[in-house]
Amino acid sequence: MEDFRKYRVYPNNLNLRAAYGGIYDHLRRSGYTEYTAKQCQEFTVHFLNDRTLRTNTSQEFLSLLNQYPTPQSTYTHCHWNRKDQEVVLTIEVRRSGIDTTVKSDDPTTLAGLHDKIAEIFQARNPVVENGATSRYDLRPTVFLAHRFDEEGKRYAEVMGRFLRQLGFEILQGEGYEARNIPEKVADRIRAQDIFLCIVSEGDPTWILSEASFAKGLSKYVVILVQDDLPFKKGIIGADYEHMIFPKGFVEKAFTDLLSALPRK
């Protein structure tokens, strides 16, 4: 049997060496011995510069984490044996969460190991109350709304480049004069999990229309407003992210955005 679990939240300052070491120590205390056949074991450390280090034993893996305590991600797949019982444990830690798989013929072992992983890695999933949209449940897909004048296009170009570098898929609308949202634009809003709007100088009617439409679809709404504009925060209701940026410098909102958007 295999039991797969996904956790969206864990401490940013988690000591990976201590966490992985804690799981392996727990297995040894429970009478398990690590299987040492190289073709069955994989311990991988990934870095931002596309560098990857891979080993075949937990001891060497923990030594790597001593040397490189904050990698971009880690992936481990290892077999442990106790008499006639085998446990296969897979743990992948990324910035966006932790994926774990435990394989065992004993349901009690499955549940116990998952509980121990969640305890040691301090992993959990957020509770979303009243049907609110959580950023932890989002795909990295953004509908980027903006004005189609020179300034609006420039803001969108800067923002789109930033979001793509973070791994987000971007769709944009198109200029239109009518009050009703064109079906082509509506379909693009429906397709993305996040609605991000840049409010610059000009008539904000289309902003209210598209943002209200996105909220009606329970999208995760983020509105960036040029700080010299009289755009009231509660104009489309509550339950959305509202940020400001100085005229001409939408990139000043990047830091706030990083805390508001899902992380990969």
Q: Could you tell me the CATH number of the domain that includes residue 223?
A: 3.40.50.2300
Same domain, 11 and 106: yes
How much is the average pLDDT of 80-100?
90
Asked, for residue 126, whether it belongs to a domain, the answer is no
Element (H, E) at 88: strand 85-94
Same domain, 150 and 93: no
Same domain, 16 and 109: yes
Same domain, 256 and 139: yes
Alpha-carbon gap, residue 126 to 133, rounded angstroms: 11
Range of the structural domain that residue 179 is part of: 135-260
Asked, for residue 176, whether it belongs to a domain, the answer is yes
Judged against a pLDDT cut of 70, whether residue 221 lies above it is answered with yes
Predicted confidence (pLDDT) per residue in 142-190, tens digit: 999 998 889 999 999 999 999 999 888 899 876 554 556 788 888 899 9
What single letter denotes the amino acid at residue 144?
L
Judged against a pLDDT cut of 80, whether residue 128 lies above it is answered with no
Same domain, 107 and 149: no
Same domain, 115 and 169: no
Asked, for residue 147, whether it belongs to a domain, the answer is yes
Asked, for residue 195, whether it belongs to a domain, the answer is yes
Alpha-carbon gap, residue 170 to 177, rounded angstroms: 23
Alpha-carbon gap, residue 7 to 242, rounded angstroms: 27
Same domain, 99 and 69: yes
Asked, for residue 111, whether it belongs to a domain, the answer is yes
Q: How many domains, in total, are found in the chain?
A: 2
Asked, for residue 129, whether it belongs to a domain, the answer is no
What pLDDT sits at residue 117? 95
More confident residue, 109 or 135: 109
Confidence of residue 216 (pLDDT cuts 50, 70, 90): confident
Same domain, 142 and 89: no
Asked, for residue 125, whether it belongs to a domain, the answer is no
Same domain, 182 and 245: yes
Asked, for residue 127, whether it belongs to a domain, the answer is no
What pLDDT sits at residue 258? 87
Does residue 246 contact residue 224 with C-beta atoms inside 8 Å? no
Confidence of residue 115 (pLDDT cuts 50, 70, 90): very high
Same domain, 144 and 244: yes
Does residue 7 contact residue 124 with C-beta atoms inside 8 Å? yes
Same domain, 156 and 221: yes
Query: For residue 58, what are its two tokens?
Result: 């937990």
Q: Degrees (nearest 5) of the Cα angle 225, 230, 231? A: 50
3-state helix, strand, coil in the chain (%, to 5): 35, 30, 40
Cα separations (Å) of 13 from 18, 45, 55, 78, 174?
Answer: 12, 17, 24, 25, 42
Same domain, 99 and 173: no
